């Protein structure tokens, strides 16, 4: 079951939800056809619950529309899942591909430090 703490982000609300956020934001760029993205889904949900109130966890389906595809290009997404950490409107971390939960939590922890 998907976590209610995961924010679904689009091109329309990326700036307000991610770039203008008062707390660090972990962003998962993904697509429904991506096997590793689907495998990572439960981990993303767990992180959203564990970091609720300290950091945001957001998912962006890069296949939603042309604006969302362009958003992925703008942020240098060359492969998915692309996992990025934003703090103060800047990208401060990035991992590509399926990753173990400790690597993702470490990226969030580093942004919170």
pLDDT in tens, 6-60: 999 999 999 999 999 999 999 999 999 999 999 999 999 999 999 999 999 999 9
Whole-Å CA distances, 104 to 65, 66, 101, 110: 27, 28, 5, 10
Can you say whether residue 88 is alpha, beta or left, with left for phi > 0 and alpha for psi between -120 and 50 degrees?
A: left
- Determine if the peptide bond prior to 39 is cis (ω within 30°): no
Which pTM value belongs to this model?
0.94
Q: What is the DSSP letter of 80?
A: S
What is the CATH code for 6-112? 3.40.30.10
pLDDT in tens, 52-67: 999 999 999 999 899 9
> Using 50, 70 and 90 to split pLDDT, how confident is the model at 95?
very high
Q: Active-site residue among 37, 44, 55, 62?
A: 37
Contact 6, 58 (CB under 8 A): yes
Say how far apart CA 58 and CA 18 lie, in whole Å.
8
41 among known catalytic residues: no
Is 37 a known active-site residue? Answer: yes
Order of all β-strands in the sheet with 6-8: 6-8, 56-61, 25-30, 82-87, 90-96
* Helix H or strand E segment including 32: none
**Given the residues 27, 34, 58, 104, the one annotated as active site:** 34
């Amino acid at each position: 079951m998907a976590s209610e703490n995961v924010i679904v982000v689009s091109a329309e609300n990326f700036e307000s939800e991610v770039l203008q956020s008062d707390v660090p934001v972990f962003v998962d760029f993904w697509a429904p056809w991506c096997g590793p993205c689907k495998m990572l889904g439960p981990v993303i949900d767990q992180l959203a619950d564990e970091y609720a109130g300290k950091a945001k966890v957001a998912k962006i389906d890069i296949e939603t529309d042309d604006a969302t595809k362009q958003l992925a290009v703008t942020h240098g997404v060359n492969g998915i899942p692309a996992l990025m950490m934003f703090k103060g409107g800047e990208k401060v971390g990035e991992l590509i591909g399926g990753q173990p939960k400790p690597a993702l939590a470490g990226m969030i922890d580093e942004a919170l430090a």
